[in-house]
Structure 1
């Protein structure tokens, strides 16, 4: 069958794909967005039931549309976020085709563009935007064998406490997902162990303002390069129950047992790194640094914000932090399930072009790939710290749409020159 042709093919209709469509439309660029399932599908089916956005509704949105029926300081639930993008796509009349899986994309031979094989037939595109986001392939460490007899799931497959078999639960990873899942399980009456790695732990609110506001005015969201050694450090923050600061000491006080990073499993016995105290101390230092910078900003700008000295007071260290557990016998402790909140890896196997380094990471500058005609959107640190967040991806999409428009202008100039060169030849015939 003949291939459909399009100038720009956008792969993925999550927040990145919808934002890309808006800006391409504004530039007058013909495009098509393909989505293998529904708009913002990962928000619907790859998140737990009680998840809410980690930022307040006034902040975690596109600039041109607020959330309907949600107070600005409240935190939208996952279904509300998905519906937000679906309504946004409809409002901008985005040319999105759902239920179409992209199988491969290869450069055409002898002419510009790419041949894209899909579940609904081939498409030829002059340019391809990979807008599949940062949550592509769940990472589950191959540490605990099936013979250990415990249920193991990634956080992307976790839905609620009733999904897990009766018994204790080990949650591995204390970023936003791991911390919130461990908290939910403990509140549901489960005995919980939480494996804590390196993390940043900002205050949810300080002196009456959300941490999203503080990081914005302090220039953190626009930081263009991560500090050395912090490229993959997770952020422990939560919007649950109206938003609260993640505090591992308080979790432990309620009954969660903290352990260090999970390192190995030998005959049903887990071994943990001797790093729990260091990881918690690092999170504390990050937390206090935000307070220090916020206080300095308020003083320098004459902001009459309420003082909050209690924010600097920590609960006493729990026993599990004073004397960390080194090993854990899964059977003896009655652990029936492990939830791996261990993040994601890239999966660009479908994009068969020379745009990746030896480790499979995209080579790009602000989303403009080293492979002409290929663009990336929605990745962490694409252009700045905020790039993988809802508002950040919108601004990155505008930049990429500008770059596409610039290339189209160069092509139009070339075509005009070539047309004039052909004109005398035609006149001589």
Structure 2
């Protein structure tokens, strides 16, 4: 293998949506840069998601401003393959300088000179600025309570592909955010007996009064919220674009035959214990749902919009037995559970990044993506600048801020003081005079 040494002003690590957005803005501003990706462009959309996954926002919303999804109804929800192909096509459109198959192994700040030395699988890259665009979904997290259970297969939602991969028997899905609830629903529709462990969650309507919830969060200003509400740090969002988009309704899932249980607390000898908070979690999800309906109604009235009434949106199914008489313990073997799917989120791994840009908990220390380590930037983080940062369009706007900051720093680095400018001017004059002197002119 050929070992290279590359020098570049800005190196972007990762060619998913964050890396492609970063390349567009850097390119427009004339910043020499290189994007490296260890696999393929938007690889996580291709191989780290289940087969039937679609985007959680409609195509008119979950895209970059410069290109629509080709051949897709704006109100439809793009499949994971369409999303990956979109970013590939976008990279071609902007002529992004992306090199795939390049793994970054180590980054260190240079001593007594500017920039960073980056060790990669193809050699050394010297860069003045470094943008980390690896995203928040790097390392699947299975909580320590899992342990080993004889006769029960345990996987993370990142490893789930389709119902056919699972052994015969019932399934316990732990986590009722978008991933967990969509996987549980798919398994139940495929004929599996499913237990769904429901923790704290927000439950927005998929649409209300002929507008998608993405539109409502936009006009109500919620996408621009700059900080998470206190106490909401561990609250997931249950929303789905599956089957054309639908509101997640846990009572409806129970009516279909799914068994709801509370937050998973512990597993001991094949017996799972659940918190006594299922009804409370469902009720708080309802409060979140109804609060958005109230805000939407008020906005319509305030602005005199002609949008159809939807009184049925406020109708609730009765609480199922599994909510009124919750199961607090489940013997997995007695219940015939052969698989546990942990839809419990991800952590990040920045062990390759040997710079002073992290808090004590290992998370990036930054202001809108500008890290505490000069020259190091992050893009693609949840709540990087606002609530919308987690969405495709939000990443694009965050990347613009980072690119602008890099350009500003480049202008400072290009500054020469008055003495140096005077010396340069004198040298220019000498250069002009010397040719005449050589010809004997005095």
TM over 0.5: yes
- Aligned-pair distance for 1:425? 9.7
What are the within-5 Å matches in structure 2 for residues 24-423 of structure 1?
A: 24-414=26-416, 418=420, 420=422
Structure 1: tracts of 5 or more residues without a match: none
- Aligned-pair distance for 1:142? 2.1
Residues 264 and 272, structure 1, Cα contact 8 Å, conserved in 2: yes
What are the within-5 Å matches in structure 2 for residues 5-16 of structure 1?
A: 5-16=7-18
- Aligned-pair distance for 1:415? 7.5
Residues 54 and 75, structure 1, Cα contact 8 Å, conserved in 2: yes
- Aligned-pair distance for 1:28? 0.1
Cα distance change, pair 366–289 in 1 and its aligned pair in 2 (3 A): same
Looking at structure 1, the residues matched to 243 and 391 of structure 2 have their Cα atoms a distance apart, in angstroms, of: 21
Structure 2: tracts of 5 or more residues without a match: 431-442
Residues 133 and 388, structure 1, Cα contact 8 Å, conserved in 2: no
> 5, 20, 23: which is aligned to 2:22?
20
Looking at structure 2, the residues matched to 268 and 173 of structure 1 have their Cα atoms a distance apart, in angstroms, of: 19
Looking at structure 2, the residues matched to 416 and 122 of structure 1 have their Cα atoms a distance apart, in angstroms, of: 36
Looking at structure 2, the residues matched to 399 and 417 of structure 1 have their Cα atoms a distance apart, in angstroms, of: 33
Looking at structure 2, the residues matched to 415 and 89 of structure 1 have their Cα atoms a distance apart, in angstroms, of: 39
Cα distance change, pair 417–194 in 1 and its aligned pair in 2 (3 A): farther
Looking at structure 2, the residues matched to 60 and 386 of structure 1 have their Cα atoms a distance apart, in angstroms, of: 11
Residues 4 and 122, structure 2, Cα contact 8 Å, conserved in 1: no
Alignment length, in residue pairs?
428
Residues 129 and 375, structure 2, Cα contact 8 Å, conserved in 1: yes
After superposition, the C-alpha distances for 1:21-70 in whole angstroms (9 at most, x for unaligned) are 00000100000000010000000000000000000001100011000111
Cα distance change, pair 421–353 in 1 and its aligned pair in 2 (3 A): farther
Task: Choose 1 or 2 for highest CA Rg.
Answer: 2
Q: Secondary structure at the match of 2:260?
A: strand
Runs of 4+ in structure 1 off by over 6 angstroms are: 422-428
Partner of 2:433: none
Q: Secondary structure at the match of 1:413?
A: coil
Q: Secondary structure at the match of 1:146?
A: coil
- Aligned-pair distance for 1:149? 2.3
Q: Secondary structure at the match of 1:283?
A: helix
- TM-score, L = length of structure 1: 0.97
Looking at structure 1, the residues matched to 382 and 334 of structure 2 have their Cα atoms a distance apart, in angstroms, of: 40
Residues 36 and 102, structure 2, Cα contact 8 Å, conserved in 1: yes
Cα distance change, pair 101–416 in 1 and its aligned pair in 2 (3 A): farther
